[in-house]
Amino acid sequence: MKKNRLIPVLLLKNGWLVQSKGFKRHQNLGNPVTAVKRLSEWAADEIIYLDISKEETYDIRREDQGYPNRSSFVEIIEDVAKVTFMPMTVGGKIQNLSDIEKRLSLGADKISINTQALDDRKFIAHAAREFGSQCVVVSIDAKRINDKYLVMSRGGQEKTSYDPVKWAKIVEAEGAGEILLNSIDRDGAKTGYDIELLSAVSESVKIPVIALGGVGEWGHFAEAFDKTKVDAVAAANIFNYTDQSVYRAKTYLYENGYNVRSPDLLIIK
């Protein structure tokens, strides 16, 4: 039986790794490579690396960080790929097939698209046809507005006409291989996943759905597996503030009978 996955998400903003809350507040965590090294050593199943920068500024101007200042996101991806031994999904600023090809050539295993897919849904099909559905993850940012869910674009700033279930069915039909479903309302809240949202979407499609947004304790991962049909659970902030976080989270799930890889396989340094 295919194992359920536990996936750390790292957010890059203007050259820094950041913590996010509500898609609005961002706190610097450090240079863009250090956390990847740790997560790789702890043998996370995969990693998702997202550029949320609005500007094209990536030079952190901190020579004392022991990390070379970079001028572009693709340079940072190249650095990250050198220190990770787990599959990596890369998202952010993808507008054409050349952008996808560049990221895959630098070491990404999959790419995540969001706004570009909403602007041109056929872009999903073009990407899947060119690189294979297994490489194409569509990220869906959802927000509850007036008692209904809406898909948001451009970093959660603009409303669309889609509800998440309708949009999930469309991206599946267009050839996406996976969906990353993020609750804007739960982002950084530590109150747990939006189970209603996850259930609705994961039950409406056959492709894997990754849950994101709201994890504050290991039990929230378990709740998503218990109450929804998601294939994987992901989180950002919690993995950055707990030592050996992936190992501890995996141990919790494994010892409570969830279908995850044994934590005995992890390498702790």
Q: What is the pLDDT of residues 53-83, one digit of tens each?
A: 887 777 666 555 566 677 788 888 898 888 8
SS3 210: strand
* CB-based contact 179:138 (threshold 8 Å): yes
In this structure, are residues 92 and 100 in contact, taking their beta carbons and an 8 Å threshold?
Answer: no
Contact of 169 with 205, CB cutoff 8 Å:
yes
For residue 237, the tally of other CB atoms under 10 A from its CB is: 22
Domains annotated for the chain, with CATH where assigned, are 5-265 (3.20.20.70)
Query: For residue 255, how many other CB atoms are within 10 A of its CB?
Result: 9
Residue 33: partners with Cβ closer than 8 Å, 6 or more residues away: 67, 76, 79, 80, 83
* Residue 25: predicted pLDDT: 73
Mean local confidence (pLDDT), 180-190: 94
Kindly report the pTM of this predicted structure: 0.92
pLDDT at 17 over 90: no
> Is there a contact between 127 and 97 (Cβ–Cβ < 8 Å)?
yes
